[in-house]
Amino acid sequence: MIQQKIPLVFKVSYARDHFFYHNDLKFIQETDYQFIKIMGPAKSGKTHMMSLVEEVHPLAYIVDDAHMYDDLDLFHIYNRAILNKKKFIITCAHDYQPYLPDWISRFQTFYLIDFSLVNDEFLEKIFHKIMNDYGMIIDTKISDYLLKHVERSYDTICEIAHYFGKMRISPTIRLIQNMIEHHEDTII
């Protein structure tokens, strides 16, 4: 009897029901704030959030990855939002530093939603989502142990999940203990 491999490909899903958020999306959709900035690390869901906001506010001015634009252009969009009484929502990384004085002063007035301030429930969902994208179902005991023993940040949890996923290794408590004991600086 010859054993055959089945070529399974697990695709990352960015569907609406695969996006985890707390009250941020609802807040953006319902708030009267005209100017909102969403800051957070790469791959934290800022762009996905913008696509969901656009469904509710199709006429809002939305700029994703503000660091990719010139400050003068952003300043003009800001002024146009004021003139047209439209929302202006931008996403950017935490290290984004405007240089144009007029834009700096306006940028500081935006209401901030910080995607790096996440709780354990959110991190657990992210960990399970990434592992699921790699075709692995993880017991909650594993994610609970992980969250109690490593830095609880979005970047760390994503890095660990991708590490196990790319290696095609289903994480166990023992593997996590070994990883911590050996201080794999590239992960933790």
Same domain, yes or no: 124 and 96: no
Same domain, yes or no: 124 and 110: no
Same domain, yes or no: 44 and 28: yes
For residue 8, tell me if it sits in a domain. no
pLDDT at 169: 86
| Host domain of residue 154 | 120-181
Same domain, yes or no: 89 and 64: yes
Q: CB-based contacts of 107: which residues, under 8 Å, 6+ apart?
A: 37, 74, 98
Same domain, yes or no: 110 and 143: no
Same domain, yes or no: 39 and 93: yes
For residue 72, tell me if it sits in a domain. yes
Successive 10-residue mean pLDDT values, the chain, 188 residues? 56 54 69 88 77 82 92 95 93 89 94 79 85 89 90 82 89 87 60
Same domain, yes or no: 99 and 131: no
Could you say which of 77, 99, 114 is where a domain stops?
A: 114
The DSSP H or E segment spanning 56 is: helix 46-56
pLDDT at 5: 56
Q: What angle do CA 171, 182, 179 make, to 5 degrees?
A: 10
Q: How many domains does the chain have?
A: 2
The CATH number covering residue 68 comes to 3.40.50.300
Instruction: Decide: pTM greater than 0.85.
Output: no
Q: Are 44 and 116 in contact (CB under 8 A)?
A: yes
Same domain, yes or no: 103 and 168: no
For residue 163, tell me if it sits in a domain. yes
Task: Give the full edge-to-edge strand order of the sheet including 35-39.
Answer: 61-63, 88-92, 35-39, 111-114
For residue 168, tell me if it sits in a domain. yes
Structure tokens at 149: 């023993």
pLDDT at 156: 84
Structure tokens at 34: 């005209």
Same domain, yes or no: 127 and 109: no
* Radius of gyration, alpha carbons of the chain: 20
Cα separation values, 90 from 1, 17, 24, 82, 172, Å = 59, 23, 14, 15, 39
